[in-house]
Amino acid sequence: MNLILLGAPGAGKGTQAEVIVNHLSIPAISTGNIIRESLRNETELGLKAKKYIDEGALVPDEVVIAIIKERLLEDDCKNGFILDGFPRTVPQAEALDAMGVVIDKVIDIEVEDEKIISRLSGRRVCKDCSASYHIDYKPSKDGKTCDLCGAELICRKDDHPDTVLERLRVYHDQTEPLIKFYKDRGKLFVVHGQEKVEDTTKLTLAAIEE
């Protein structure tokens, strides 16, 4: 099954992607994670993307489209994949069509803006393996280090409240039009993402099984 997870920054796409990976045994592809990894490794892509990420802006379409084009050719995508954070603009969605990629379902996780701000200000991520936690909703065992690899937990630079507001503005302006784009194609499944993680997970899995 080829899936897209749509939703505002902090709606819980990454959290639900982890669950679907285990449920369907298909890979999750997060353009955000790929770009952050390039930043850590100081590759050409990372250096190009840094200023956009730090400002809460989108990385140019041609850059992320090239990333996805290459990633989808890998063997583990043969039986399906979950796109987390791509597409984020109508030209990116059109690029998927142009690649001949058939999307089965688009799951749109809806959460109000006010909730997003508290979720992202409490998020902590592992500086080495990128595992994601939340100080209230999903704390690590000691609150300071990663349960998986023991490295330090940090706050993502773009989770600062001012940058979150800009990311939300960009989301409403450039990504929200994709809701209509996929609704018109009969692919859209809306999931209420306001409540606990387990509640969103139930609705997400139900949408996949529908």
**What does the binding site for ligand AP5 look like in residue numbers (CB under 6 A)?**
7, 9-15, 30-32, 35, 52-53, 56-59, 64, 85-86, 88, 92, 119, 123, 132, 134, 137-138, 158, 167, 193, 196-197, 200
Nearest distance from C-beta of residue 100 to ligand AP5, angstroms: 19
- Give 184 or 196: the residue with its C-beta nearer to ligand AP5: 196
Q: Which of 36, 119, 124, 167 is catalytic?
A: 167
Nearest distance from C-beta of residue 175 to ligand AP5, angstroms: 8
Distance CA 202, CA 191 (A): 10
Half-sphere exposure in the Cβ direction for 102 (13 Å, CA): 4
Q: Which of 48, 127, 156, 187 is catalytic?
A: 156
**Is 185 known to be catalytic?**
no
**Is 88 known to be catalytic?**
yes
- Give 64 or 188: the residue with its C-beta nearer to ligand AP5: 64
Distance CA 167, CA 48 (A): 18
- Give 17 or 26: the residue with its C-beta nearer to ligand AP5: 17
- In this structure, what are the phi and psi dihedrals at residue 170, rounded to the nearest 5 degrees? -65, -40
Taking every pair of Cα atoms in the chain, the longest distance, rounded to a whole number of angstroms, is 47
Nearest distance from C-beta of residue 78 to ligand AP5, angstroms: 22
**Is 123 known to be catalytic?**
yes
Nearest partner of 111 among 174, 182, 171, judged by Cα: 171
Q: What phi-psi label fits residue 12: left (phi over 0), alpha (psi between -120 and 50 degrees) or beta?
A: left
Q: At what angle do helices 61-71 and 90-98 cross, to 10 degrees?
A: 40
- Give 105 or 121: the residue with its C-beta nearer to ligand AP5: 121
What is the number of the residue whose Cβ is closest to ligand AP5?
32
| CB 172 within 8 Å of CB 164 | no
**Is 40 known to be catalytic?**
no
- Give 26 or 130: the residue with its C-beta nearer to ligand AP5: 130
Cis-peptide, bond into residue 87, ω within 30° of zero: yes
Q: Which of 13, 36, 119, 124 is catalytic?
A: 13
Nearest distance from C-beta of residue 25 to ligand AP5, angstroms: 20
Nearest distance from C-beta of residue 145 to ligand AP5, angstroms: 16
Distance CA 137, CA 63 (A): 34
Residues annotated catalytic, as ranges: 13, 88, 123, 156, 167
